Structure formats: C-alpha cells, structure tokens
C-alpha cells in the first residue's frame, strides 16, 4: 500500500469558485479517487488562501471585517466543491493557528541559516489610502509598447514584464491618484543560495518537461532574492519580532499545505511527521496551474529545504480553460461561476467532459458547449448508461430481478476486464482522455453485441427466454465494469449503479468479481440528457450576473 499526500492549489478567499478553477480540482479529485480504489492511503488536503491586500480591500468595500469575508467565502467554497463531488479529506484556511505556527517556524529556520536579509527599497505609496501598493494595484503606460491601462509589473498587450518603477504615468487603482515613491525596509529570502539544490531537484522527474525547460531558463539567468515582506495595512501574519511588517501572502499560502495536513492529523490521530520529515518515504504531489509553477518549483522547495522539511515527489501542472474558444471573460459572457453552472446542469456532466479533454500535458482545454452537449448525450447517456437500462428492463420484468447462473458471451467480459490495468495506469499518469476513449470503445463493443443478439426479439420466443437472461446478465456485468472504470470520474452515478446491481462499493480489485445468479434492484433513471434550454438558461444567468 502506497502512502500518498495530495494537494491542489489554494483558491483565493475573495471570490467565487469558477469553471476555470474546477479544471484543477476535478483533475486532482479523479486522481485521488483512483488511488483510493487501489487501496492506497491517499489523503487529499486543501485550504482557502485567506491573506493579502485584495482581501483587505474587498472587505473594506463590503464594509465588513476581513475575518467575516473569509468566513463567508470559506462556506461558499466548501459548498461548491461538495456539490461538484470533490472530496477533500481536509479543507482548512491559511488564516489558522497551524499556518501561523509553521509560517513563523519556517521563517525562523531560514533566518537562523542566514537566509533572511534586510534591504531598504523604494516602493510606490498611495498617500490618500495611506498604504504601500503591490504591483497589481498600479496601472499606467507600458514602458515597452506604450499601451495604456497596464499593470505595474506586466503588459497584457505586448507581454513585457518590467520593474514597477518603470511604468509611465502610474496611478493607484485604490484611490485613482498618482502614487509617490517612498523608502521602506523589507526582508528578503536569499533564494540565490539554493541554486545548486534547485538545479539538482528540478533535474529529477519532479516536473513535466515543459516546466523543467522553463525552470532551467530561470536558473540559468540566476535567481534574485525574494521579497517576503508587506507593510501595514495588510491582512496577514506579522513577521516574528515585527509589529508593522507582514508575511507576503506567497510565503504563507503554500505553508497552508502543511498546516491543513497538521489539522487533519490532529483530528484523526495520524502521524504528521511521517509525511513531512526530511527523510519521509511517503509520496507528496501538488496539482497546480502552469501560472504558479515558479512559486511551487523554486520558492517552495527552497523554503522546505532550508527549514528541514521533505520536498514534493512531483508537481503536476495543467493549462487554462477557454470557453467556446474564448478566454474566460465576464464581458464576453464566457465566465461562469461554479454555482451558476450547478443551478442548471448536473456536476457529473462537467466531470465527464473535463475528463474527456484532460491529459498529462500542459495544454489549455476548451469547453465547447456544443461538443459538451453532444459528447455527454451520445457517449455517456446514449452509449454507456443505455447498456444498463436496455438490459435491466428484461431482468426486472421477465426474470424477477434475477441474473442468470452463466454467461452467454464470457469472452467479451474477459476482454473488457483485461483492460483494467490500462485504465488504472491511465488514471495514474493523468491521461484521463485516453480512458474516456477506451471506455467508449468498450461500450461500442457491448452495444454491437447486444444489437447482434437482439434480446428484445428473442424474448418473444419462449424457447429463447433463458438465452435472453444470459445475454442481459452479460450486459449488466459489462455495464458494471464500464461504470467501475468511470467511478473516479462519476462517483454519484457509480453509487447508483452499485445500488442497482446490489454489489459492494467498486474497487479495482473487486471489479474482477462477476455477478451470476444474484438479484438486482429495479433500474432507476441514472442521468438525463443535456438540453439546449438548460445551457441557454445558464448563459442567461451569467449575462444577468455580468450586468
């Protein structure tokens, strides 16, 4: 049995979960569920990322405390994840005693190593708001292409990055006034001291090839010291020994993985050190978006190394979501919150569709609503679920719910079961789209067999009734196997099929056990087709939100 700890990136606590977020959480949840079906001890933890200037300003805008904002957001996030059948073993918050403890501990360890230094820097300051400004709260003219209304650290028009003090005609987005430049003392983590370690760590199979190439570029260019300080006012943890200096959110956010796991271990009497000790033999995997690889593959392992903790076994990056070929955008009507979707459509539609598009490559995936409707209706409902309904109706009606004591086509069942290891390996390697194609192909074989033997014709002949029972027993066993293969993707549908088949909760091991001479329950509708009306209703609600 493998012992595995899995995390997804922490969602920020000043906004709702949207469909773009769900690419990551669904990818991770599917992977974890497959591990659990193998009997591995796989623990999935996450938390809300609850600190930073945006949360402080959003709370001011709503005239509530930051604590109230993150409390409300936490409840919303937990409900959205639960309704999308994402099953965390522990979901915590970075605004917690555990996170405060470990953030301070790591800082103190780095400081004792000589890895924390003090520097005086010049930073933009908003005199009206009386606060230093993060780069994202400065807008102005790009110094490279002179595009207007660009952020203080990068240009969305030409793609250039630059120092904040290079931007032309800067304006604070907090007060809409020009900022001044003001000196301040900040603490820096000497990331450059860890270049040799990081070159060795990233040379192993810790990241995908595309990320490894990018990390090599950064390492070749040389690493700069990392500013880990933010000045008051700021919502976060005080740096130990300081009153008006706070940890930059990107220091305490990944520490939230450790904190959430510590919280889990305390609740369930588990051995925390077994997972985080420097010599730990357990596996640790981070699922993240490609845009935060720098933090997770450079800053994070360097912090862990300096503080004496274990490093990740691997970091799995994914691409972004586009909707109908467009970047997610509220103005274009292609930005959908999780709750907006759930108000109109079944979550397992999206779980299935995302799985059909997800590979282990760092590629953006597109949610084409036309393809989404067609694929779910034709493959999942029309091809796979239909096997169960067309066979169960005969067993329910004509054979008192009893399966036959032998198969008519045992070879087809053996052939289907022979793909189990392929399915497991595809989940392990995050090649979900290959599994969808494989399972769809197996369903084609089953439907072809049923079309050839025509139980609906044979049932009319008294001499062939026993054969019909055997054929439908074939079909229902094959149906159970196919749904078992899809269980990490479709947990709710799988539970319904387990109830219909009166079988134990399906695992990769017991999926090999066939059902003969047993009773099934009355077949109940499992899932309906997607209608254009439900998609349009969701789009209309999104348009209303946009206004």
Binned at pLDDT 50, 70 and 90, residue 545 comes out as low
- Among 46, 5, 97, which Cα is nearest to 311's? 5
pLDDT reported for residue 330: 79
pLDDT digits (tens, 9 = 90+) for 330-356: 777 889 999 999 999 999 999 999 999
How far apart CA 198 and CA 195 sit, in angstroms, is 5
Query: Quick one: three-class SS letters along 321-347?
Result: EEECCEECCCCCCCCCEHHHHHCCCCH
Structure confidence at residue 436 as a pLDDT band (50, 70, 90) = very high
Residue 547 has pLDDT above 50, yes or no: no
Task: Encode pLDDT of 360-412 as tens digits.
Answer: 999 999 999 999 999 999 999 999 999 999 999 999 999 999 999 999 999 99
Domains in the chain, CATH or no CATH each: 3-109+205-220+249-318 (3.40.50.620), 116-189 (2.170.220.10), 347-512 (1.10.730.10)
Strand arrangement, sheet containing 326-327: 326-327, 321-323, 365-367
Q: Using an 8 Å Cβ cutoff, are 346 and 149 in contact?
A: no
Rounded to the nearest integer, the mean pLDDT of the chain is: 95
pTM above 0.85, yes or no: yes
pLDDT of residue 540: 92
**Would you state the pLDDT for residue 275?**
96
384 within 8 A of 439, measured Cβ to Cβ? yes
Least confident residue range of 148-152, 257-261, 273-277, 444-448? 148-152
Interval 265-284: pLDDT, tens: 999 999 999 999 999 999 99
Neighbour-count burial for 445-466, b at 16+ CB within 10 Å, e otherwise: ebbebbeebebeebbeeeebee
What are the DSSP calls for 182-204, one per residue? EEEEEEEE-GGGGHHHHHHHHHS
Judge contact between 303 and 110, C-beta under 8 A.
Answer: yes
* Burial status of residue 78 (CB atoms within 10 A of its CB: 0-12, 13-18, 19 or more): middle
């Amino acid at each position: 049995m493998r012992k595995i700890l899995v995390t997804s990136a922490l969602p920020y606590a000043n906004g709702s979960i949207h469909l773009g977020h769900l690419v990551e959480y669904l990818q991770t949840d599917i992977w974890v569920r497959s591990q659990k079906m193998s009997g591995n001890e796989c623990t999935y933890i996450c938390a809300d990322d609850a600190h930073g200037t945006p949360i402080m300003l959003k709370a001011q805008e709503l005239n509530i405390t930051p604590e109230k904002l993150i409390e409300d957001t936490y409840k919303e996030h937990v409900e959205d994840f639960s309704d999308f059948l994402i099953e965390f073993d522990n979901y915590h918050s970075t605004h917690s005693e555990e996170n405060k403890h470990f953030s301070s501990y790591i800082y103190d360890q780095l400081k004792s190593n000589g890895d924390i230094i003090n520097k005086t820097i010049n930073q933009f300051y908003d005199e009206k708001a009386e606060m230093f400004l993060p780069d994202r709260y400065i807008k102005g003219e790009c110094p490279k292409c002179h595009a207007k209304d660009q952020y203080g650290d990068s240009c969305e028009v030409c793609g250039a990055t630059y120092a904040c003090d290079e931007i032309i005609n800067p304006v604070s987005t907090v007060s809409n006034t020009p900022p001044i430049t003001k000196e301040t003392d900040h603490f820096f983590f000497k990331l450059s001291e860890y270049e040799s370690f990081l070159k060795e760590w990233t040379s192993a199979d810790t990241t995908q090839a595309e990320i490894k190439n990018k990390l090599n570029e950064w390492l070749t260019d040389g690493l700069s010291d990392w500013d880990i300080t933010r000045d008051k006012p700021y919502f976060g943890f005080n740096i130990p020994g300081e009153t008006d200096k706070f940890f930059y959110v990107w220091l305490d956010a990944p520490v939230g993985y450790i904190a959430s796991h510590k919280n889990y271990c305390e609740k369930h009497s588990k051995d925390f050190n077994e997972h985080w000790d420097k010599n730990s033999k357990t596996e640790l995997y981070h699922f993240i978006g490609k845009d935060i690889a720098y933090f997770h593959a450079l800053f994070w392992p360097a912090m862990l190394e300096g503080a004496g903790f274990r490093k990740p076994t691997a970091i799995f990056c994914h691409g972004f979501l586009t909707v109908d070929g467009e970047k997610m955008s509220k103005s274009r009507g292609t930005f959908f919150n999780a709750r907006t979707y759930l108000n109109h459509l079944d979550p397992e539609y999206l779980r299935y569709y995302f799985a059909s598009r997800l590979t282990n490559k760092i590629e953006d995936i597109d949610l084409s609503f036309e393809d989404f409707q067609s694929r779910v209706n034709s493959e999942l409902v029309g091809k796979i679920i239909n096997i169960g309904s067309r066979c169960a109706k005969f067993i329910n009606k004509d054979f008192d719910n009893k399966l036959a004591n032998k198969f008519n086509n045992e070879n087809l069942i053996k052939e289907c079961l022979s793909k189990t290891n392929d399915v497991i390996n595809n989940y392990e390697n995050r090649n979900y789209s290959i599994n969808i194609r494989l399972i769809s192909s197996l369903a084609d074989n089953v439907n072809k067999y049923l079309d050839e033997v025509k139980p609906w014709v044979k049932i009319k002949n008294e001499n062939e009734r026993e054969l019909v029972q055997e054929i439908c027993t074939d079909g229902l066993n094959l149906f159970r196997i196919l749904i078992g293969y899809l269980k990490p993707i479709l947990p709710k549908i799988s539970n319904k099929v387990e109830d219909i088949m009166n079988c134990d909760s399906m695992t990769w091991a017991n999926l090999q056990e066939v059902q003969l001479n047993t009773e099934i329950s009355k077949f109940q509708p499992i899932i309906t087709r997607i209608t254009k009306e439900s998609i349009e209703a969701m789009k209309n609600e999104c348009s209303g939100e946009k206004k």
